[in-house]
Structure formats: structure tokens, C-alpha cells
């Protein structure tokens, strides 16, 4: 038995789980937290749980768990179906997490039964169902005071701050790569005026502060295994005050591209307008009464902002010697940044079309 599994089994003793532990095995392919699927034997049959140890190098566990507990408690008031929300299992002393002798922070969720999640949508309908899940997440939290949440990753989507970090990386050029990426550097600099658009809209009262998820990929949505309809949103570690349009935008950046994030052949990278349209339809299905026209009309800006910001971050990391994102080869971050910039250009070339699509919902 591994040392980590032994610690996991020991941590489980502090949670109010049903029955006796039958198995506790590593689960999923997440890169941040250590995750286990726990199966218990009870008088009614098997009961499944998800046990996780929170990565303390990235997060302050107490702040993360405070946010999650508040949001989950609020979501409970919106539905009677436990499959539609993440259910935290309390510790024996009624807390949402347990800290062991090694200062590891553990939590337990009820497993969402008869469900599946997809690394990538397998159809337009899958993508639309993911949009519905995140749209419902926004609707159910529309009356939640976002300002009461911790900012678990400071300046996460503060694009002007990201731009300053980029300029610093260009100036310092610590590994001597700037001379070979002049075109990419110029691409970022040419769009400087755009980077404050969302923050300015917020200051003007056109874009309200909301609870943002900040990792709106399809693998953070649970779908019903039989019907493939949306059940709930998972992985709430990065929920914090933010903008709905950036959550929307990150989904488009990742899900409406015709190629992988690190595709070398840029001729294969384009924006799928039909996928964009499907995601808008699913995302706004239940939100028309909660979003004003100004917020809806900023959805394309959200998509462009998240895409250019992500590309900027990849390029910054490349110039800094690949210190943040995991890479498989020397030009990996450069390839990633180029796909994002190609998508940004695609959005700009189709800007009127994107605006017309969202305008229908105003």
C-alpha cells in the first residue's frame, strides 16, 4: 500500500461515511489534487464517495473550502435532486474538511451516481449540455453575494495585470527567446487597448460581479449516463468573484476550436461558428431573465479575452523558461500560444457574426 493511500484511509475515519470501506483507489486524471474513489459496503448495497487531498502549493485550503461550502449550501436551496449539486460529506465534528497531522487538507463528496464526464464533447449536443450546466450554475447563483467569497487565485483573470507580466517577461528575456517570437510579441502589443474592456464595463455598471467557476471545460460537467443531459458542475476549487462572460469565454476558447490546444498545423485551427451558436443557446437558455442586454452583448468579448489572455500566458511562460505550465518539448508553450492567437484572429474576422448571434437573446 502506498503512503498516500494509507493517509487517505486514515483521513476517511474522520468523515461521516456510511458502511465499511471496501476499496479506496486513485481516481481520474486531475493534475492538481490527489483524488480517490471510495466504495463502502452498507446494508443497502454499495455507497460511493470521492475523497480528495487539496493541493496546498496552489490553494489556501481553508479559503477554498469556505467558498465551496457557502456555494454548495446556496445551491441546495435551488433543487431537491442531490444529483444536481455537489454534496459535501461532513466530518465527525461537523466540518467540511479535515486537516491531518501532515497538514494535508482532505474533503469528501458524495459520488454523482449513473453519471459520466467527457474530456471533450463528442457531439454538438454534448457541448450544448455543458453550456446548460454552466448556465444553470450561473442562474442558481445569480442571487448569491459574490463579494463574500475569497479570491482563491489573486488576479486570475485580471488581463491588464497579465499584460504587465508579459511586458516584464519580454524585457527580461531570461532565456533569450524574444528575438525569435517578434511576431507573437507584436500580436499581443497590438491589442493592448482591448485588455481593460471587461473591467471597464464592470466599473460602468454594465457587467456585474458574479460567482465565476474559472475552469469551464467539459470535464467539469457531470452528464446523466443514460440521457447525456446535464446534471451538475464539479471542481469548485477556483470559484471566486468574477464575470459570467469569462466563464463563457473559456468554454468557447477550449470547446469551439477545431483543433487541439497545442496543434502545430495552424491551418487546422479555426473557430466553429455552429459550436459557438450551440453554446450560446445552451448557456442562455435559462438566463435571459437574469442577464441584462449589456452582459449578453459582452459574451464575444469574454471569448476573445479568455483566448488572448491564455495565449499571452503561454507566451509569457515561454519567454520565462517554461516555469508555470507543464511542457513536453521546448516549443510546447509557443505552439499553445500560436493556436490561441489564431483563434483570436478568427474571432476578430467573424466579429459581426458573433455579435449577431448573441444579440438575438437581448
**Angle 49-35-328 from CA coordinates, rounded to 5°:** 150
Which three three-digit cell numbers place residue 74?
Answer: 446556496
Residues 6+ apart with CB under 8 A from 251: 130, 131, 134, 216, 217, 279, 283
Residue 34 has pLDDT above 90, yes or no: no
85 and 9 share one domain = yes
The CATH number covering residue 33 comes to 3.30.200.20
241 and 215 share one domain = yes
137: in domain: yes
Per-residue pLDDT, 320:
97
Give percent above pLDDT 90 in the chain.
88
Print the domain residue range for 259. Answer: 124-359
117: in domain: no
112, 145, 164 — which closes off a domain?
112
Helices (H), 222-287: 244-255, 273-284
Per-residue pLDDT, 54:
87
- Helix 351-359 to helix 273-284 angle, to the nearest 10 degrees? 30
224-238 per-position pLDDT tens digit: 999 999 999 999 999
257-298 per-position pLDDT tens digit: 999 999 999 999 999 999 999 999 999 998 878 999 999 999
Quote the CA–CA distance of 283 and 262 in Å, as a whole number. 26
CA atoms within 13 A on the CB side of 135: 23
Do the beta carbons of residue 100 and residue 34 sit within 8 Å?
no
352: in domain: yes
Per-residue pLDDT, 266:
98
176: in domain: yes
Residue 195 has pLDDT above 90, yes or no: yes
Give percent above pLDDT 70 in the chain.
99
292 and 341 share one domain = yes
108 and 238 share one domain = no
Which three three-digit cell numbers place residue 97?
Answer: 474538511
Quote the CA–CA distance of 293 and 295 in Å, as a whole number. 5
* Mean confidence (pLDDT) of the chain: 95
Per-residue pLDDT, 288:
79
296-311 per-position pLDDT tens digit: 999 999 999 999 999 9
pLDDT (mean) for 207-217: 96
pLDDT (mean) for 242-263: 96
152 and 35 share one domain = no
The CATH number covering residue 329 comes to 3.90.1200.10
pLDDT (mean) for 204-223: 96
Nearest to 5 by CA among 35, 47, 41, 42: 35
258: in domain: yes
Domain count, the chain: 2
83 and 16 share one domain = yes
112, 145, 163 — which closes off a domain?
112
161 dihedral zone (left: phi>0; alpha: psi -120 to 50; beta): alpha
136: in domain: yes
Binning pLDDT at 50, 70 and 90, where does residue 32 land?
low
132: in domain: yes
Per-residue pLDDT, 196:
98
pLDDT (mean) for 64-81: 95
333: in domain: yes
Residues 6+ apart with CB under 8 A from 346: 269, 270, 271
pLDDT (mean) for 185-201: 98
323 and 256 share one domain = yes
48, 79, 112 — which closes off a domain?
112
88 and 202 share one domain = no
107 and 132 share one domain = no
74 and 51 share one domain = yes
Do the beta carbons of residue 242 and residue 209 sit within 8 Å?
yes
pLDDT (mean) for 89-107: 94
181 and 206 share one domain = yes
Residue 289 has phi, psi (to 5 degrees) of -85, -10
71 and 172 share one domain = no
328-360 per-position pLDDT tens digit: 999 999 999 999 999 999 999 999 999 999 999
Cα 316–chain centre separation = 21
Amino acid at each position: 500500500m502506498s503512503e498516500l493511500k494509507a493517509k487517505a484511509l486514515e483521513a476517511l475515519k474522520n468523515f461521516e461515511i456510511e458502511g465499511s470501506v471496501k476499496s479506496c483507489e486513485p481516481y481520474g486524471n486531475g493534475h492538481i489534487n490527489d483524488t480517490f474513489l471510495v466504495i463502502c459496503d452498507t446494508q443497502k448495497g454499495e455507497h460511493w464517495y470521492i475523497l480528495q487531498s487539496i493541493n496546498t502549493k496552489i490553494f489556501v485550503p481553508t479559503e477554498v473550502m469556505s467558498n465551496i461550502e457557502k456555494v454548495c449550501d446556496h445551491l441546495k436551496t435551488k433543487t431537491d435532486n442531490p444529483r444536481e449539486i455537489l454534496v459535501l460529506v461532513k466530518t465527525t465534528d461537523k466540518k467540511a474538511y479535515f486537516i491531518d497531522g501532515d497538514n494535508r487538507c482532505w474533503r469528501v463528496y458524495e459520488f454523482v451516481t449513473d453519471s459520466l464526464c467527457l474530456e471533450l464533447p463528442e457531439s454538438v449536443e454534448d457541448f450544448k449540455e455543458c453550456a446548460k450546466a454552466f448556465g444553470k450554475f450561473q442562474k442558481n447563483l445569480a442571487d448569491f453575494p459574490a463579494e463574500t467569497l475569497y479570491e482563491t487565485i489573486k488576479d486570475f483573470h485580471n488581463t491588464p495585470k497579465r499584460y504587465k507580466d508579459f511586458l516584464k517577461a519580454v524585457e527580461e528575456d531570461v532565456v533569450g527567446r524574444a528575438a525569435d517570437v517578434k511576431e507573437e510579441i507584436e500580436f499581443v502589443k497590438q491589442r493592448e487597448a482591448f485588455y481593460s474592456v471587461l473591467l471597464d464595463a464592470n466599473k460602468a455598471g454594465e457587467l456585474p460581479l458574479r460567482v465565476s467557476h474559472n475552469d469551464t471545460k467539459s470535464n467539469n460537467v457531470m452528464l446523466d449516463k443514460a440521457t447525456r443531459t446535464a446534471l451538475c458542475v464539479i471542481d469548485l476549487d477556483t470559484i471566486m468573484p468574477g464575470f459570467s462572460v469569462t466563464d463563457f469565454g473559456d468554454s468557447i476558447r477550449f470547446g469551439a476550436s477545431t483543433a487541439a490546444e497545442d496543434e502545430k498545423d495552424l491551418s487546422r485551427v479555426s473557430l466553429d461558428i455552429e459550436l459557438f451558436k450551440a453554446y450560446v443557446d445552451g448557456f442562455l437558455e435559462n438566463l435571459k431573465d437574469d442577464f441584462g442586454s449589456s452582459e449578453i452583448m459582452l459574451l464575444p468579448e469574454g471569448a476573445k479575452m479568455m483566448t488572448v489572455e491564455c495565449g499571452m500566458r503561454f507566451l509569457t511562460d515561454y519567454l520565462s523558461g517554461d516555469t508555470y505550465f507543464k511542457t513536453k518539448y521546448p516549443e510546447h508553450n509557443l505552439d499553445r500560444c500560436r493556436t490561441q492567437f489564431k483563434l483570436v484572429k478568427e474571432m476578430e474576422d467573424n466579429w459581426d457574426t458573433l455579435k449577431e448571434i448573441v444579440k438575438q437573446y437581448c
